[in-house]
Structures are given as C-alpha cells and as structure tokens.
Chains A and B, each alone.
Chain A
Amino acid sequence: MKKIMSVLMVLMVAASAFAAGQQEAASSEASFAGNYAFGGSSTVEPIIRAAAEEYAEIHPEAKISYDAPGSSAGVRGALDGTYSIGAASRALKDSEIADGAVPTAIAKDGVAVVVNSASVPMDDITMDQLIAIYAGEVTNWSEIGGPDATIVVFNRDEASGTRSCFNDATVKTAKKSFTETAAIVTSNGDMVAKVGSTPYSIGYCGFGYLGRDAGTKSVSVDMITPEVSHVLDGTYPVQRDLILITNGAVPAGSLEEAFINYILSDEGQEIVAEEKFIPLNS
C-alpha cells in the first residue's frame, strides 16, 4: 500500500510539473500566442492542415487547430465565432453575405466523378447519364451500357460544399433534385474509401482525393477528363473556388490576417499545389 501511495504521489508531482511547464510555455511572450480554432470544409482541410504545420515553424507559439464538419458549418462557425476562420468549398449564399461573411478565395478545385474500379468498366459517362443516376432515374448500370447490376449511389451530407457545388453543376441544371436513396458519406476521404470498397458504386470527390484509394477510378464527363488544365480552361463542368471566411474584414495585425496572407503567398500556393488543388495564380 505504501508503495502504491508513493507511486501515486510521484505521479501527482509529475503531472503538476507537466501542467506548470505547459503554463510557462503558453505565457512566453509573442504576438500570436494562443489557440486558434479554424474549421469548415473537409475538402479544404488538407490545405489548412499543411499550411498550419508550415506556419508553426514561423510562429510556434500560435496553436492552430482545424475541425472539418463541412462547409455550411464552417460559414456558420465563422459567423457565430466558433471559428476565427471558416473554410468552404462552395460559393457563399446571399443570406450568408448579408450576415457579414467575407470570403477570400485561396484555391480552385474540380469535383471528379469516381466509380469502383474493379466492378464498373466504364471510363466515361455523359452529363445526362450522370444527372439521371443522381436524380434516381437510372438505377442499373445496364441502362447506360454497363453490367447488369444496381448502381450504388454515394452522396455527401447536406453540410457539404462539394455536394452543393456538384448539385449546382449537375441535377440542378436539369431542374431535378438528388435521389433520396443515396448512401450518405461525410467527407471526401470517406467517399473514396466507400466507393473503393463497394462494388458497382459511384460517387464524387475533389480532385485532390483522386488516387487516394486504389479501388477507385475517376471517369470523364462528356469525354472531358478531370484534369487541372480542363478546370483552368473552363471546359470541366464541375468546379469551384475554395474560400476562407471571416466575420467581417480580417482585423489588421491579427494572426488570421497573417495566415490568410501566408496561404496567398507563393509558398502558400505551393502548398495548395502539393495537396493537388489548383493554385490561384496558375
């Protein structure tokens, strides 16, 4: 018993020393010291995480964290103060701009259509077929020249900017709406993981996630392959700007301003390219 007590005592002392050390570390003087919570789109997540990691080398005292509950939550979070910077992979709605959301574009991205590579032989589908699949009018691959199997449709959650962008460019153009029977996934990574492991499935994800999962392959839409050059010349139909959102203009001299400027700098845009998104200046 004595032994246990002494062990406990030692642990307590160690823990308090640990906590004290932390406090000291936190109180070291620096302009940007503190914890910063950013959050929003899961598409933008890799850019922010990588940029934050690089940024930590310049300002180690600023601890930046990023949550990825989706674009809409990102905009809302930026407006209600949960996040000091929100991120979205869709354009802002008028109501959001009216509430004071200020967007800053940091990259371009396309949304690619992916299918399960082992079971779906097609490498190209037309826009009409894509709309029909996502509106729930075509439910079997044989109807569009594939094998006789039910199409497993994966869609993103309502908060997703990728979903809203995909919706605008596909089913909405034909004045239809998404099928209700699609299985819902909550992030781009989740999407490729599910499509890669589910036979006869179809889904969509940002270009940055192509090739992440060996079981998926991207298909071209109307013979236009999902490539950076096709986004830049405007031929690829599903594309968007990735934006950071602040509540009102960014205060001068704040970490938020410095961080946004860092992403817009040459170095930051190189990170955008590293994460397989399209830099603004390209």
Chain B
Amino acid sequence: MSSAEVLNPPVSKGRKEVVSSPQSRKLRMQEKVAKGIIWGLAALTIAILVWIVGYLMVKGLRYNNMTPYNVTPYVERVIDLDGTEDDLVFIINRGVREQDIEVDGLRTLFNKRRNENWGFYNEQNLRAQPVVNENAGDFSVQVKDFILAGEDLDDYRGYVEKASSWDEVISYVGGTEGAIGFLPASEAADLPRDVKVLGVRRKAIAVNPSVLMIKDSRMLRELTDKQAEKIAAGEVSNWMEVGGTDLPLTLLDSENIEVNMEALQSTEGAVMLTDYRYVAEYGVRSVPVLRHETGWNLTWHFITEAPARSGQWGGISYIIINTFFLILFTILFSAPVGVMAAIYMVEYAKQGRLMRILRMGTETLSGIPSIVFGLFGFIFFVRILGMGIGFISSTLTVTLMVLPTIIRTSEEALKSVPQSFREGSLALGATKLQTIIKVVLPAASPGILTGIILAVGRTVGETAVLIYTLGSNYDLVSGPSSSARVLSLHLYMLFSEALSFDRTFATGAVLVILILLTNFSATFMMKRMNKNSGM
C-alpha cells in the first residue's frame, strides 16, 4: 500500500476490508462493557473509601458547633466598669486554653464552694486557682460587686489566693498552673509572656417573661447570633420573626438602668441588651444565644492528656496506652501458641481425619462473632475462674479469639514453603528441628507476620468482647485485675452515653490513624523480610 492509500483509504474498499465478524464484534462489545463495569465499580469503591476515611478524618480533626450561652458572643478584653476610674482586665496563666469566658463563669471561678475546674469551660482538666490583690481597696470591691453580683457575700472564699500588690498578682498568675486574676487596665500594659488576657462575654438579652411563655405548645428557646444582632439593631418588630410566639417586640435602651428595667418588667414583649449582672439583680429572664464555635478537635493535648470526668475532659493518653498494652499481651500470649500449633499441624501431625476435624474447628472458631467469645470469656474467666472483670480476663479472651486467625495464616504460610527447601536441608544432614527453625520458619515468616498483624487489627477493633471482660474504667491499667478502657471501647462509651460527639469522632480518627500505621508498618516489614528471606 502506498502512503496515499493509507492516509485516504477508499471508502468502498475499507468496508470490504473489515475482517470482524458479527461474533467478534459482539465479543469486543462485551469486553468493553465488562471493562466499563469493572472500572466503574472500582472507582465507586475508591470513592466510598475516600469518602468514609475523609469524613471520619474531617469530623475527627475539626469541630463545628452552635453552643447556647446566656450571653451574646460579643467579647470584651478590657471591661469598662460603672463606678470605677480604671478599666478592668482579667488575666490567666498561659497554660489555660481559654480565650474568653462568659461572666457567669467568672463568678463560679471566684465564688464556688470549692476550686472550679477549667474543664467546664474548655475540657482541660486543670484546677482553677483564683488570686486577688488584698490592698486594692475600692477597685477590688467594685470588681467583687461585678463578679459576685446578686450574692450577698462579704469576702472571698478560703481557697482564693491573696497577693499584696498588682505585680505580685501578675507573677502569681504567671507562675501558677490554672491561675486567674484581675488588674486595672493601667497595670496590664506589658504583661510577661506567661500571662495572657482573658476576654469576657457579658452582654445578655434580657426579656420580659412573656417572651419565654409557652403559647400554642410553642416557645422561644434560643436565638442565633445573627438574630440577636438584628434585635439589637432594632430590625425586628415581632418575636415571630425570630422563632418566638406572636408578640410585638419593644427594644429598650440600657441607659438609665432602673427606669428601663421597670419598663422591661411591665411591658409584654420588651427586650433589652444589657450587662448580664442586671439579669440576676432584677430577676428578669434572658434568652440564650447560640455561638458558633469551631476549631481543632484532634489536638496534641487530646492525645497526650489523661482522661477525666468520664472522658469529657482531658485527652485519651491512658486509653491509647491501654490499647497498646492489650495488643502487646494478646500477641505475647497468642503468637507463640498459635505458631507452634501451626508447626505441629504442618510438620509433625499425620494428615488424617483428626487433622481435618482440627482444621475445621479452627476455621469455625475464626468465624464466630466476637460477642460469643465475650460471653464465653465472661462466664469462664470472669465468673468460673474468678478473675473478675479486668485486664487479664480480657487479654485471655481476646487471645482465644485471635488464635484461630494466627493458626490458619501460619499454617498456610508454612505449607507454602516448597518441599524442596526441607529436602535440601535434610539432605545436608540437618535434623528436623534444625530444618524447621533455620529453613522453614524464616521462609514462612512473612506469612506468619501477616497473621499476627491481622490479629493486631482484630484486637484494636474489638469492642464486644471487651464490654463483658474489660469493664469501663478510664484509668491506666495498673495490674492484671484492673478494669480499663481501650480506644474502641472508649469510642463506644462516649457515643452511647452521649458524652461528646466531637470527642467520639476524635477518638475514631485516632483509631483510623493507628490502623493505617499498623498496616503501613506491616507492609514495610514484610517487604524487608521478603528481601532477607530471598523469596
């Protein structure tokens, strides 16, 4: 064929030259369709995987909540107090992870019967230590009035630390974990590095009780920050517009507080944006306002701090360590036994009926739902052997559960070692034991390791067995009989007790990362072993 013919083949000729029969066209079509379906399904699988892991990770890494407070989200870092010449600044130790606080929280921090814990505000398990300047005179009285408004308290609580100058307050706050104090703004000009300013939220939406009345089985529960802004700007004329009942809205001025408070108390549907202390002082109601809160969920602190208050505060460090202990001891118990059993079954035992039954048994066991093992562990280890709910019972139960997996995979690995290896070794004069230890085991080690890693995976993900045998204590494992929690169990507890969705997801993300790490290290180790064993 000339090049011209190749480039421009005559149409009629081309038709004749098609060699494919209808049969082969059909086959090619089938091929294409099948390929398309396979590609599509593969893409779908990958998409689902990415979506699940991505969703878990995103939810685990970031939180995004609307939280109701008695005050609006407006933050003041320097507080203008009525009746004092100087403005007021609250300072905290840098170690406290708090940016701003509602004024009611300040009251609790300085005036509870016992030391407040920062956990109530930022989930950081840290005792709050308030400090005051004894010699501040009038300023202190004014602040006390501001903090303790509505309480007829003469003095500070016993645990409040007393300092004798503002400098002393600053150095105390800087040097004490969880410390909080207050200063006149003029003293807070250049604070040392270990002290930071705590913002205060104190503007409340005070309303006439009629606003919160139930009418037609409906009532106003809360406002979003946008709605609160609109009300304050005077753009709302009826409570229905912001989700309340049918009631005209009257916006009152917060100047001349006494007169306007009286008006608030007597006018139906009246509202006033005012300092929260007046809400308590005049006994009016306030509408909760939602604040949009977002930030990192899975932080370094979450991983390294010990859990407290049923896991609502602190982190999950103990729980991660418990998880590793459980894995370690499970593998310690199950791997030697499992591998030896596999060696016996492959190398020594006569392949007869007994072996078939044994094999069927292990296969059945590896397929049994873990809750059944949990039941067995609870009855046998906890009750009959009297070990009690604790670390040793759960480790033994999980050992029983993963043993079949290890035996099965080790057996397959040993079987896949070519017979010629054994023959070669024996021919060189090695004994059977020498052959097994020096030739067969090294060659089979990647497969055996895979089985062990599968067992680790099952242990990490196990929940049902552990509910019955490990208990739910969130302390560090302190002995064979101590009740404990591992990651999966902690996740279950957080979720089923509705303790915190954010923490549930953060724990889930840690689990996902842990399993990814296990898998990566398994692949890595197997590659290395493969190289070494030369298979």
Name A residues whose Cβ lies closer than 8 Å to a Cβ of B. Answer: 1, 8, 11, 15, 19, 22-23, 25-26, 35, 45-46, 49-50, 53, 63, 65, 67, 121-125, 145, 187-190, 192-193, 196, 209, 211-214, 217, 220, 223, 266-267, 269-270, 274
Contact = CB atoms under 8 A, between A and B. Distances in A.
A187 B497 contact: yes
B113 interface: yes
Contacts of A49: 309-310
B435 to A, nearest CB: 13
B280 to A, nearest CB: 14
Nearest to B245: A123
B461 interface: no
B498 interface: yes
A123 B218 contact: yes
B178 to A, nearest CB: 14
A123 to B, nearest CB: 4
Contacts of B303: none
Interface of A is mostly: helix
B328 interface: yes
Contacts of B438: 1
Nearest to B474: A49
B214 interface: yes
B457 interface: no
B219 A26 contact: no
Contacts of A63: 475, 478, 482
Given A1-B437, A26-B479, A63-B478, 4 more contacts: A11-B328, A190-B498, A211-B68, A267-B113
B480 interface: yes
Interface residues of B, number: 38
Contacts of A25: 478
Contacts of B329: 15
The residue among A11, A123, A193 with the most chain B CB atoms within 10 A of its own CB is: A123
Interface of B: 65-66, 68, 112-114, 120, 214, 217-219, 221, 308-310, 328-329, 332, 336, 437-438, 441-442, 471-473, 475, 478-483, 495-499
Contacts of B221: 123, 217
Q: Which 7 A-B pairs have the closest CB atoms?
A: A189-B497, A193-B498, A22-B479, A189-B498, A122-B217, A123-B219, A270-B113
A192 B272 CA distance: 34
B113 A193 contact: no
Given A25-B478, A26-B479, A270-B114, A187 B214 contact: no
Contacts of B120: 274
Contacts of A145: 217
A53 B308 contact: yes
A213 B498 contact: yes
A212 B480 contact: no
Contact of B498 (A26, A50, A65, A196): A196
Contacts of A220: 214
B471 A19 contact: no
A123 B217 contact: yes
A26 B478 CA distance: 9
